[in-house]
């Protein structure tokens, strides 16, 4: 009985959510940095790939919160927020 409770807590963990939420922004960065995908499909919109990564995280966030994993959802939200702040700082986007 105690092992099942431990397993349930591992799923609902802030750090796991932080890692899961960092995957799509990291993948977007790799796609923009090391491929010409952005230039072929969306040449006028340089931030589009990153916006798609945020949308993926928001959809994932919805499913995680609906499953009752609040701590994991908070981790996904924080990593998405940090990724967008990092993008704004590194690309010198004016707000």
Q: What's the pLDDT score for residue 1?
A: 46
What tokens appear for 57 in the block? 């995280």
How large is the average pLDDT for residues 81-94? 83
Name the residue with higher pLDDT: 81 or 8. Answer: 81
How large is the average pLDDT for residues 10-30? 89
State the residue for tokens 């230039």: 39
The answer to whether 57 and 64 have CB atoms below 8 angstroms apart is no
Q: Rounded to whole angstroms, how far apart are CA atoms 16 and 12?
A: 8
Q: What's the pLDDT score for residue 90?
A: 84
Residue 84 CA, chain-centre distance (Å), reads: 9
pLDDT at 2 over 60: no
The answer to whether 69 and 11 have CB atoms below 8 angstroms apart is yes
pLDDT one-digit tens code per residue, 3-17: 554 555 557 889 999
Q: Rounded to whole angstroms, how far apart are CA atoms 86 and 69?
A: 26
Q: What's the pLDDT score for residue 95?
A: 60
pTM for the full predicted model? 0.79
């Amino acid at each position: 009985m105690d092992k099942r409770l431990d397993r349930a807590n591992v799923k609902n963990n802030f750090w796991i959510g932080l890692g899961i939420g960092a995957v799509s922004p990291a993948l977007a960065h790799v796609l923009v940095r090391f491929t010409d995908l952005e230039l072929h499909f969306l040449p006028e919109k340089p931030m589009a790939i990153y916006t798609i990564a945020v949308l993926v995280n928001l959809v994932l966030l919805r499913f995680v919160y609906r499953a009752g994993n609040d701590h994991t959802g908070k981790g996904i939200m924080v990593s998405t927020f940090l990724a967008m702040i990092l993008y704004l700082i590194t690309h010198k986007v004016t707000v």
